[in-house]
Structure 1
Amino acid sequence: MALEAVARPNAGGRFVAVAVVAVPLAFVVSGLAIRYAAFASVSAEPGFAAYAQALCRWDCAWYVGISEHGYERFPIPGQSNVGRWGFFPLYPMLVAAIRSVFRFPTILVASITSIACSYAACLVAWPLLEKNMRAYVLYCAFLLSGPFSYHFTTFLTEPLFVLLTSCVFLALKRSSYLAAGLSSALLSATRLVGVLVVFATVIQMFTDYRAKGGSTLSFPRWLLGRPDLLVAIFISPAGLFAYILFLYLTVGDGFAFLHVQRAFGRVPGNPLAFIWDGFSAVPTTGWLPTAPQWSALAALIGLALSAVLAVRRQYGAALFCACCIILPLITNLASMVRYVVGLAPLTILLAMLSSASKPTFLAALALFLGACYFMTVAWIGGYLALV
């Protein structure tokens, strides 16, 4: 409440700036304290290094391997057919570059880098949240001290993905299309679905053109007459194309990142059937939902929030988020919870909706902070729905 009062329109800009910087920093500290307490409750080994290693679960180990050893050349005698090619290179490269300067263990460097990326994502989100202090507090709490904050503070791509996604939509909000294109290029080298953000760029271009009185039919001709906009569009998938070229030159298969998915059990199918099968996986004992049920529920919630974005006329963000959910859903429900909570437009929308009144704001903040402890314990314990 005090932060909200500081950020009132009649307060000085300096105090607002201090609040914007201090809020996520406070949640960095509180999140570390809560997650470390959760770690200490299930581990007898003390220290930040042990804590960082305990949070390195599931895909984190793959990124550590890429950062330390790069991508393997297939085939390798005695190795599994499962390769690292399905994990995109930008974030492991960033961690490797930082580790070359600061000679610390990879997971320590990655954990600190992830916290820094998530902190920066909060700062970028401030204008996207319409400078609403209550929504900003909730968003920072969700990323840094919330129930899924371990995703944004360990060696996974979510911290960089959220940061770059926020940069893209902030650039589009300001009609800075070249900046959006550059951020999109980096995003496409972070995760495969990052390349889909180019559609949001084209939609924003069309929206701005229509706002200036242009007609729908004349938009393609107008766009072809704007080389600067074409450059912004064509550089958006540059990160993906660079990775395809790298795989072609080193592995012999530019689409190895797609072909290796079968080794992880991802085979194309009917998304509706996957959701139905997920909800049908009822628990055999107890009342808690099963991991497939949580994943199916996360997919539906994500699609529902995408529809809300569309109703609010945020068509580019709605399409991007819906595609980022549906594309992996075509294969199965694996990692669906992580994919949904890692979509910045959805979490920004959730923060805006939850901050509509002081009671909902306080309830959401208490829920985020309270759930952080228990969800961290579940993550360390290997609960399958959180993969």
Structure 2
Amino acid sequence: MAGISAIEQANPGSPSQSVAASPVETELALGDLAHANTGGRLWVIAASVPLLFMISGLVIRYAAFHSVSAVPGFEAYARGLCRWDCAWYVDISEHGYERFPIPGQSNVGRWGFFPLYPMLVTTLRFAFPFSTILIATITSMACSYAACLVAWPLLEKNVRAYILYCAFLLSGPFSFHFTTFLTEPLFVLLTSCVFLALKRSNYLAAGVTCALLSATRLVGVLAVFAMVIQMFEQHRQQGGSAVSFPRWVLGRPDMLVAIFISPAGLFAYMLFLYLTVGDGFAFLHVQRAFGRVAGDPLLFLWDGLAAVPTKGWLPTAPQWSALAAMIGLTLSVVLASRRRYGAALFCASSIILPLITNLASMVRYVIGLAPLLMLIAELLSVSKLTYLVILALFLSASYFMTLAWIGGYLALV
């Protein structure tokens, strides 16, 4: 066998002689061994980098929390960082969904918050004797760590880009979004899993993961379009035409199953709402109670940019949200220019869909798109100097942004 250096010993009296490995075989064996050792070291790095940033990020955010709170302890820290939508997910995990609007809260209901992550935390709460927010915080950190590991092959084992990506998720200026009870940690993890499965042409795995993604956030169902684009690209690479693509897909049961199960999470939630509330689209209809009304996305962007500060020079929350949407859409175009059409369409549509209602939470929505984060990491890692400067900025900004999050800065909602 190639790669094994051995001498075959002949039996006494046998005409066969000892056969020594040739120099070529020996060279191949040493090359394979070196490649295996290099691959092993890289995976050790891939596992260690996010772990280090998870620890450093926790230290930085806890220091920020401790500077404004006299209550010590990890659970107090977890509660201190549970802001805005986090409280809704805690309620869903502990009490489930109500059949009627919550009294005294302007007909607001929990139906706009999708169920997969609260269900996961509820399941873990039965297994571990800790509070909901404590379990959710640890689970979010674990999901973000896992998302980093999945990103390693997606980033083509680019060490600099990988370090920046891990730093952003676990120790960066928005790391509180990925380490508290919000859907971003699970959403980024599942999104990364979908694109890794597509990279490996494992469509069944992509379909199952997409189904979970559609039960995490509404825009998760849009990943099915990235899947279809990947199928089309594979068909074209094999010499097929656009006209023959539907017939080709019909001849692939794995692709058909993947496409049809992709929205299963969304459909299951709609069925649940229909049976409990009487309205399968309650997650859409309740948006009006939160101040989200369908309108012109361009007008929302213009209004956001026009909301200039009345004093000082720092941009207002609407301006930050509008800038985030514009940057996200621009990066989607960059993805398309690099022939990552599926990722580009997924990211652009995931920004435009919530933008149809207003700019609320737009910063969080944009930074929760894994393909955009990976692209940013790739772009900023080209130069070693830029890479080092950005890494330092990520770590230093984490402290101050955590203070802004705890203080209720509206742009970070």
Deviation at 1:12, TM superposition (A): 2.3
How far apart in 2 are the matches of 1:106 and 1:80?
A: 26
Q: Which of 44, 52, 64 is the aligned partner of 1:38? A: 64
Deviation at 1:199, TM superposition (A): 0.1
Consecutive unaligned residues of structure 1, counting only runs of 5 or more, are 1-7
Look up the SS of the partner of 1:110 in the other structure.
Answer: helix
How far apart in 2 are the matches of 1:375 and 1:38?
A: 9
How far apart in 2 are the matches of 1:352 and 1:16?
A: 18
In the alignment, does 2:323 pair up with 1:264? Answer: no
8 A contact 2:101–2:108 mirrored in 1: no
Deviation at 1:76, TM superposition (A): 5.8
In the alignment, does 2:398 pair up with 1:359? Answer: no
8 A contact 2:144–2:178 mirrored in 1: yes
Q: Which of 10, 31, 51 is the aligned partner of 1:25? A: 51
Deviation at 1:129, TM superposition (A): 0.4
8 A contact 2:179–2:185 mirrored in 1: yes
8 A contact 2:304–2:322 mirrored in 1: yes
In the alignment, does 2:129 pair up with 1:115? Answer: no
Q: Deviations over 1:162-217 (max 9, x none)?
A: 00000000000000000000000000000000000000000000000100100111
How far apart in 1 are the matches of 2:193 and 2:380?
A: 23
8 A contact 2:106–2:289 mirrored in 1: no
Consecutive unaligned residues of structure 2, counting only runs of 5 or more, are 1-33
In the alignment, does 2:221 pair up with 1:195? Answer: yes
TM-score scaled by length of structure 1: 0.97
Q: Deviations over 1:222-242 (max 9, x none)?
A: 112222211000000000000
Deviation at 1:13, TM superposition (A): 2.1
RMSD: 1.2
Amino acid at match of 1:228: D
Q: Which of 346, 354, 357 is the aligned partner of 1:328? A: 354
How far apart in 1 are the matches of 2:220 and 2:270?
A: 14
Q: Deviations over 1:68-107 (max 9, x none)?
A: 0000011565564100000000000000000110010100
Q: Which of 265, 274, 279 is the aligned partner of 2:300? A: 274
Q: Which of 179, 186, 198 is the aligned partner of 1:160? A: 186
8 A contact 2:351–2:366 mirrored in 1: yes
How far apart in 1 are the matches of 2:299 and 2:102?
A: 36
Deviation at 1:44, TM superposition (A): 1.3
Amino acid at match of 2:381: S
How far apart in 2 are the matches of 1:134 and 1:76?
A: 48
Residues 276-295 of structure 1 correspond to what in structure 2 (within 5 A)?
Answer: 276-295=302-321
**Corresponding residue for residue 226 of structure 1:** 252
Deviation at 1:337, TM superposition (A): 0.2
Amino acid at match of 1:298: A
**Corresponding residue for residue 375 of structure 1:** 401
Amino acid at match of 1:290: T
Q: Which of 189, 195, 198 is the aligned partner of 1:169? A: 195
8 A contact 2:101–2:109 mirrored in 1: no
Amino acid at match of 2:310: T
Look up the SS of the partner of 2:279 in the other structure.
Answer: coil
Amino acid at match of 1:323: S
**Corresponding residue for residue 248 of structure 1:** 274
Q: Deviations over 1:21-68 (max 9, x none)?
A: 000000000000000111111111111111100100000000000000
**Corresponding residue for residue 369 of structure 2:** 343
Look up the SS of the partner of 2:292 in the other structure.
Answer: coil
* Rg larger in structure: 2
How far apart in 1 are the matches of 2:409 and 2:104?
A: 30
TM-score scaled by length of structure 2: 0.91
Higher relative contact order at CA 8 Å, sep ≥6: structure 1 or structure 2?
Answer: 1
**Corresponding residue for residue 53 of structure 1:** 79
**Kindly tell me: are residues 69 and 286 of structure 1, through their superposed partners in 2, closer, same or farther at Cα, counting changes over 3 Å?**
same
In the alignment, does 2:297 pair up with 1:308? Answer: no
**Corresponding residue for residue 27 of structure 2:** none
How far apart in 2 are the matches of 1:173 and 1:75?
A: 43
| Percent identity for Structure 1 against Structure 2 | 79
**Corresponding residue for residue 384 of structure 1:** 410
Look up the SS of the partner of 1:12 in the other structure.
Answer: helix
Amino acid at match of 2:377: A
How far apart in 2 are the matches of 1:367 and 1:20?
A: 22
Residues 32-181 of structure 1 correspond to what in structure 2 (within 5 A)?
Answer: 32-75=58-101, 80-181=106-207
**Corresponding residue for residue 207 of structure 1:** 233
How far apart in 2 are the matches of 1:225 and 1:110?
A: 43
How far apart in 1 are the matches of 2:155 and 2:46?
A: 12
**Corresponding residue for residue 11 of structure 2:** none
Amino acid at match of 1:246: F
Deviation at 1:357, TM superposition (A): 1.3
How far apart in 1 are the matches of 2:37 and 2:382?
A: 21
